[in-house]
Structure 1
Amino acid sequence: MSVDSDLKHQTVNILKSYIREGEHQTQDFKFRVDDAKKIARTLAAFANTDGGRLLIGVKDNGKVVGVNPEEEFHVIQGAATLYCKPELDVKTQIMQDEHKLVLEVTVAEVENKPIKALDDNGNWKTYVRREDHTLLASKILIGVWKKMRNKTSTPQTFDKDEQLILNTIKEAGSITLSKLYRSTQLKKSYIDKLLILFITWEVVQMKITPSGTFFSVGEEIEE
């Protein structure tokens, strides 16, 4: 067996192992890329989360249909440079299964979040990846990213309002932002500010899911 055939066989095996994983938080299948703006949201979501891999030329069910890699590459480049802000660096590789070609696109997680992408109305929005979904990032998460750049130390004690918010979250076990607003009746912007601080201090945990964002107490709080 020649070196070239060895490499081809190895590439086929890697592609098949990727496909067996199915779609998940760091992997997405695309039959082909028709909408550069839409794919830009997926690329930005990967960059804002854990990084990820696109396999273009693969159906949602994992069937390899193949694409013209050069055509898809131009759409991906346009998505990453024109419809992501700041421009996103992506890496591409051609993979092969029998006579069908698949374009692998990989995106690394960025350090300085967020990467924004255009929505259907032409507005720059922030997206994240959860499970196999691309979701809009919440204002709390965006606030946490900003705050993490200048993280402050956790205080030894909390004042009355801070304690109220923490106790409300603790009693609920897991709570949405809208329910926290209703339960505490404090000013929304004030709650937002404290939640962002609590998350950066790792006192509160935020869980983002396709069904919603939930907050819980990450550790025992001082009464």
Structure 2
Amino acid sequence: MFFAMKYRELKDLIEEGENIQCEFKLKFSTPEKIAREMIAFANTKGGYIIFGVDDDKNVVGVESEKEVAELVKETAEKYCEPPIEYSIEFIEYNAKELVIVAIPESHIKPHRLQDYLDDIDLNKAVVTIRVNDKSVQASKEMIRLLRAQNGKKALVKYTIGQNEKLVFEFLKHNERISVKELSKLVNISERRASRTLVKMVRANLLMIHTKDNGEEYFTAAV
């Protein structure tokens, strides 16, 4: 999907700065922190982690490519559930050694920080996604949608009930709606409101959006 990267491609990535598909790391910090980044890319559209570049796009290089590679391997295999697929490449850039880790978008979402549980606990699981230039915790709604993506099927048969009609009516006068707003609007639990909105997204009736702080809101799909 990504490799082998050419010098010009790497130069363009660095000049563009961090974004939804690119993260700079001056050095390998901790497996937990790097796992969150790898998980976010796998759960979203894929992307690159470039070791040896700081947040201001200054190319510093890494001390040991081998050490970074070993730590990345351990992180992908032992700190991510399911384990993350990735490719790794070493490139000399302006006389500095950089390590580029490419993570493709996963087909077995959602990935989470290893918790040694048999299944995802929606209240506790660390499931990250990429939003702009940040990796943020996914909401329960997003986790449910990531799960549904594994089947790669929209809800083609979906009955529009009173709650759904009220959502459409609300969106005629407002640009967006949240789980809390729907819960208050129709006097149902937030859990039920969440499931309703998620199903409407799966039926291609709504679109889900994530803010930089991880909060979600929904808009009409058309």
Per the normalisation by structure 1, the TM-score is 0.85
The equivalent of 2:178 in structure 1 is 176
Task: After TM superposition, give the deviation of residue 154 of structure 1 in Å.
Answer: 4.0
Q: Distance in 2 between matches of 1:86 and 1:56?
A: 23
Q: Out of 31, 39, 45, which is 2:34 matched to?
A: 39
| Corresponding letter in the other structure for 2:102 | T
Give a deviation string over 1:55-77, Cα, whole Å, max 9, x none. 10001111110102111111111
Count of residue pairs brought into register by the alignment: 206
The 1-side partners of 2:94 and 2:218 are apart by: 48
User: Where does residue 140 of structure 1 map in the other structure?
Assistant: 141
Per the alignment, do residues 189 and 57 of structure 1 end up closer, same or farther by CA in structure 2, a change over 3 Å counting? same
Opposite residue 16 of structure 2, the aligned amino acid is E
For residues 118 and 147 of structure 1, what CA distance do their matches in structure 2 show? 21
Alpha-carbon distance, 1:192 to partner? 1.6
Indicate the percent of aligned positions where both proteins have the same amino acid: 25
How far is the alpha carbon of 1:11 from its aligned partner? 4.5
Q: Which amino acid aligns with 2:126?
A: K
**What is the match of residue 21 of structure 1?**
16
Aligned with residue 97 of structure 1, among 88, 93, 115 = 93
Which of 31, 51, 63 is the matching residue for 1:56?
51
CA contact (8 A) 1:147 1:196 kept: no
Partners of 1:147 and 1:197 within 8 A in 2: no
Alignment counterpart, residue 112 of structure 1, candidates 92, 108, 112: 108
2:145 & 2:6 partners in 1: Cα distance?
A: 40
**C-alpha RMSD of the superposition:** 2.0
For structure 2, the residue ranges without an aligned partner over 5 or more in a row are: 116-123
Q: Which amino acid in the other structure matches residue 9 of structure 2?
A: I
Residue 120 of structure 2 corresponds to which residue in structure 1?
none
Residue correspondence of structure 1 range 73-92 to structure 2 within 5 A? 73-92=69-88
Would you identify which runs of 4 or more consecutive aligned residues in structure 1 move more than 6 Å?
none
How many Å separate the matches in 1 of 2:167 and 2:94?
Answer: 58
Does residue 195 of structure 2 align to residue 199 of structure 1? no
* Structure 1 residues 179 and 152: CA distance shift in structure 2, 3 A: closer
The answer on whether the counterparts of 2:46 and 2:104 sit within 8 Å (CA) in structure 1 is yes
Shift of the alpha carbon at 1:89?
1.5
Contact 2:141 2:194 in 1 (8 A): yes
Matched, 1:153 2:159: no
Aligned to 1:3: none
Q: Could you say what secondary structure the match of 1:50 adopts?
A: coil
- Indicate the residue corresponding to 2:217 in structure 1: 214
Letter in 2 for 1:143: R
The answer for unaligned runs of 5 or more in structure 1 is: 1-9
Greater per-residue helix proportion: 1
Cα distance in 2 for partners of 1:116, 1:49 equals 13
Q: Compute the TM-score of the two structures, normalised by the length of structure 2.
A: 0.85
CA distance in 1, matches of 2:9, 2:54: 17
Q: What is residue 166 of structure 2 aligned with on the other side?
A: 164
Matched, 1:127 2:128: yes
Residues 175 and 215 in structure 1, CA contact (< 8 A), matched pair in contact too: yes
Q: Secondary structure at the match of 1:182?
A: helix
SS at match of 1:18: helix
